[in-house]
Structure 1
């Protein structure tokens, strides 16, 4: 069928129209994302003419196109015809899904019969029609055939409908019983089935959605200062590896290394971003490239590829993976500058343009110009990534991807995914929301977020709902309280309790979170006038006294949070967050819930988090929970285990809490489900 304008193709709506399918971006141009074991919400608007009942089914298809599973969708917005079901893929690959709308003859009959028989209208006719509907349901064969046990329930209901010795209302009640409805919910009788388009769903490994990252500058670990010569000696990959057991003990999944490549000397930055470096200043590792090599080389003071391989092997032996920074820029000393000057921008005076973000200037960095030789640059970057993949890197944190062409990233990420689907890319794009979301849609697995600057109750509640909402099938948030570039005001003034608050929020507010080395020490002194630490590690060596971490308790808290995350599958999901009202403007409450049908343990998992975001004062108030949404009884209290403190309580829909930041900044509570609970 043709539309009236510009020869546009118009797809027929079908007999039972299925509209506004979710998760779908640009009519399927960008696949939705999931990971193995993720409970994926599928939604659609399903309508029909008249008053007859309808139903909807979500169908999940394996990479080979065969049906993996299906689920009847429930009406999540009565009156708006919006339906939802959740399905769980169990392997990686290029999956797909669709939604089927259908006429529900049993639902139509049940509605009409309940009214007419009660009113004495067409009584025998209605009971006879019910008999025919149930007999149809029982007679189905093949894939639609129901088990003998379920079929017996319907056969008994047919017998009751035909038993004229019983009162009509009793006969009707047998056909409308809870048992009959449950059988037909599992094995619905579907007429006029109308399918939506089939939409793509790419399924990654679990670490693409859920994991904990620890950032470190290898050169600081093991660095020493000679008082006599006033010179530093850099730490190495070997000395940095000595920190891996400590990091693993805190439960981290990924060790992320800032650039480890040779650092240029031309316009090298000094301490605290000084324009002139003093003798011995190591320079920024983001000023990549020297006569010793470029992005495919290792800074000689850090060691060799043998040392790097040993670092990776040690991390793996401790259950951790290694991520490496990808910063697509060059120092003036990078081999690319001599070998490929066309890869950069030449200004009118013949000089190569350095990086600028006016009024900021980065004279030690030349940005790449992707328009002059896009194929040459692409081939080189793809080669460089392969070097590190071959040496065991399984994740890349990409510096400022929003300053490079999206077409470049889309091609590169697809290429790497095709050859190495295990590789994960984290986007460091603190930029406009539309750009962040588009980077996610074209292939980045994870993204830094604005969580770092969300501090008030209203801000946090809105942001938690947003990142777990309609953007979640594409933009997987990674919550970082700080980075090597960012020390937000909240942590400048919040003390140790502030660091604890933000750790709890990050670790439970998102399936993926990370900390920058030194978080355990609550490093909070800013460089005057900017939101970054004084004596920034990006420009100097910064060895630390890790024994102080035990006294502060942040390392112990981080370790416990990561332990809790691993124990509770609800905290490993994104699209299951619910914000709950509280009576105090410094108490933030949210929950994550998995029902038994979608939990990998086969048991429901409900975690409720209550945080006092005031790091300076005791806060108390009430939290309102609708326990029924978790499949829990509302007529009696439930056992609540605080998995952070080890204490247990009895909670109901209204809970009084009191949190002293000097003792506990938060409750992280597991609600106990009785056997058989949803």
Structure 2
């Protein structure tokens, strides 16, 4: 089982929104532990926890102030240990987030770094003198808006932050920074975690010469909602030194049995190429990008992503996802391509779980959950607050998990007010409403098919010629997968074999009739 991750299915839990057991309106570790039976019950291999470390929560835990402790809002280290033990009892692996490209500005290391240019931690973050006119040292932009440089009156220098000013970037050119983070990995591996999801894995190193990023004229002629997308980030991230550090990280996981790393590649220019480079040569076990987390829903898009990855990196391994905590939920994002919410949700599940690679599911995806429509005064996400109303941020996909439709807050919490609201549209698809024939029932059946079929887990992909809107391919030598990516009925050539699992489809002679969002897995 040393390669248990290859072809695995991981379920992402957003801890603030999964289950609140202490009644404060925010999810916690004890709540997650209580609900692990749900996760194990529909057939996944692993659970990934978004950050639960000590944090001032300026970016909901992606701003860490103590990498080796649990934030009190979620519980204690003892609660974490109990969660890991229960997950292992249920046969689930546990993967935790590691947010190491940057810390919170409340981290003691940053407090020490900004206090002096000569102290022990002076070079642990990225500092630079201003230009002669007092402006920042270069044109790098922050993802949440504005310059990626903030002036610090203590050191009389600028510090670099790819995200919020309260999220200063570590200086990975300093070997001490690398060593400390590797020791932190060992801290959690010693506690029994089975792997890491590495946040912004291509952001660790910056160009030490601080050269300007180039304008990206391929995006559009007028500014995007977020001007970050107007630059080609040649120097602020994606640096070659990243590759050597990933080998050092891999060496740490290899000190332990059957451990795994999956990296998040945040890049809009060559994500598939970076995924391939990062998962070959003794680096990451697998990587994912935002390639399938956008609005594209065509046969060519899905085919090109998978085909290009394995063409560029035949020895690498991808992890595919359709939804996560950073993007609009796919049932809402692709709604125009669906005959109904349920039809689209089932088709998306069948497609995702048929792709060559590993898979990550986001909490609520198994219910066919939709994006929550929030008012401005309900937002917590810096991206939504900064770019409202054109960009509503990520809160709409982070609202609480719904368990029992009639219960207060759909069973998530007994609090009078939860950190994000539970609205009727979301409560309508609660777990207790998912009977026979539901989206959740389909996920169970599809996951059972994948788990029991080695071709679907690890088999190579052979593409089958089919006219749009049909996507067709064969996994291994035994399973043909055919999808109608439209809300209209179509017919296409029927592969030989028996139908293993299908929706809105049937064989007519030598033709396969596919209804709106119909599909068939044939073997």
Q: What is the TM-score normalised by the length of structure 2?
A: 0.70
Equivalent position of 1:286 in the other structure = 62
Shift of 1:320: 0.6
- Secondary structure of the residue that 1:256 maps to in structure 2? strand
Which among 441, 446, 450 is matched to residue 556 of structure 1? Answer: 441
Structure 2 counterparts to residues 112-511 of structure 1, below 5 A: 205-223=2-20, 232-264=24-56, 268=58, 284-289=60-65, 294-328=66-100, 329-339=102-112, 340-348=121-129, 356-357=142-143, 359=145, 362-371=164-173, 374-405=174-205, 406-431=242-267, 432=270, 433-442=272-281, 443-449=283-289, 450-453=291-294, 454-474=296-316, 476-487=317-328, 490-491=333-334, 493=336, 494=338, 495-511=341-357
Equivalent position of 2:215 in the other structure = none
Structure number with greater CO (CA < 8 Å, separation at least 6) is: 2
Equivalent position of 1:168 in the other structure = none
Shift of 1:388: 0.7
Contact 2:494/2:507 (8 A) holds in 1: no
Structure 2 counterparts to residues 79-118 of structure 1, below 5 A: none
For residues 503 and 263 of structure 2, the distance between their equivalents in structure 1, rounded to whole angstroms, comes to 34
- Secondary structure of the residue that 1:213 maps to in structure 2? strand
CA shift digits 1:572-618 (9 cap, x unpaired): 115x21121234x2221111124xxxxxxxxxxx111111211x33x
- Secondary structure of the residue that 1:363 maps to in structure 2? coil
Contact 2:356/2:475 (8 A) holds in 1: no
Shift of 1:516: 1.2
Task: Verify: 1:580 aligned to 2:427, yes or no.
Answer: no
Equivalent position of 1:569 in the other structure = 454
Equivalent position of 1:76 in the other structure = none
- Secondary structure of the residue that 2:398 maps to in structure 1? coil
Equivalent position of 2:224 in the other structure = none
Task: Verify: 1:657 aligned to 2:513, yes or no.
Answer: yes
How large is the Cα RMSD of the aligned pairs?
3.3
Shift of 1:512: 1.1
Contact 1:322/1:395 (8 A) holds in 2: yes
Distance 1:452 1:581, change over 3 A: same
Contact 1:400/1:427 (8 A) holds in 2: yes
Distance 1:645 1:435, change over 3 A: closer
Task: Verify: 1:610 aligned to 2:486, yes or no.
Answer: no
Shift of 1:535: 3.8
Equivalent position of 2:210 in the other structure = none
- Secondary structure of the residue that 2:287 maps to in structure 1? strand
For residues 422 and 482 of structure 1, the distance between their equivalents in structure 2, rounded to whole angstroms, comes to 27
Shift of 1:346: 2.8
- Secondary structure of the residue that 2:463 maps to in structure 1? strand
Distance 1:208 1:284, change over 3 A: same
CA shift digits 1:546-576 (9 cap, x unpaired): 33661692222221111011111101115x2
- Secondary structure of the residue that 1:510 maps to in structure 2? coil
Task: Verify: 1:623 aligned to 2:493, yes or no.
Answer: yes
Q: Which structure has greater strand proportion?
A: 1
For residues 390 and 21 of structure 2, the distance between their equivalents in structure 1, rounded to whole angstroms, comes to 29
Unaligned 5+ runs, structure 2: 113-120, 147-162, 206-241, 374-383, 401-418
For residues 288 and 259 of structure 2, the distance between their equivalents in structure 1, rounded to whole angstroms, comes to 17
Shift of 1:365: 1.0
Contact 1:397/1:426 (8 A) holds in 2: yes
Distance 1:341 1:286, change over 3 A: farther
Distance 1:570 1:532, change over 3 A: farther
The count of residues paired between Structure 1 and Structure 2 equals 407
Shift of 1:364: 2.6
Which has more radius of gyration?
Answer: 1
CA shift digits 1:151-193 (9 cap, x unpaired): xxxxxxxxxxxxxxxxxxxxxxxxxxxxxxxxxxxxxxxxxxx
For residues 562 and 436 of structure 1, the distance between their equivalents in structure 2, rounded to whole angstroms, comes to 25
- Greater mean alpha carbon deviation, residues 408-417 or residues 424-433: 408-417
Distance 1:468 1:500, change over 3 A: farther
Distance 1:472 1:558, change over 3 A: farther
For residues 484 and 262 of structure 1, the distance between their equivalents in structure 2, rounded to whole angstroms, comes to 19
- Secondary structure of the residue that 1:302 maps to in structure 2? coil
Distance 1:607 1:381, change over 3 A: same
Equivalent position of 2:360 in the other structure = 514
Contact 1:640/1:649 (8 A) holds in 2: no
For residues 646 and 521 of structure 1, the distance between their equivalents in structure 2, rounded to whole angstroms, comes to 17
Distance 1:470 1:249, change over 3 A: same
For residues 609 and 284 of structure 1, the distance between their equivalents in structure 2, rounded to whole angstroms, comes to 39
Contact 1:448/1:479 (8 A) holds in 2: yes
Q: What is the TM-score normalised by the length of structure 1?
A: 0.55
Unaligned 5+ runs, structure 1: 1-35, 37-204, 227-231, 269-282, 595-605, 626-637, 671-678
- Secondary structure of the residue that 2:123 maps to in structure 1? helix
For residues 438 and 61 of structure 2, the distance between their equivalents in structure 1, rounded to whole angstroms, comes to 31
Shift of 1:448: 0.8
Shift of 1:325: 0.5
For residues 254 and 640 of structure 1, the distance between their equivalents in structure 2, rounded to whole angstroms, comes to 30
> Following TM superposition, where does structure 1 have runs of at least 4 consecutive aligned residues deviating by more than 4 angstroms?
349-355, 525-528, 531-534, 538-545, 644-651
Contact 1:345/1:352 (8 A) holds in 2: no
Shift of 1:639: 4.4
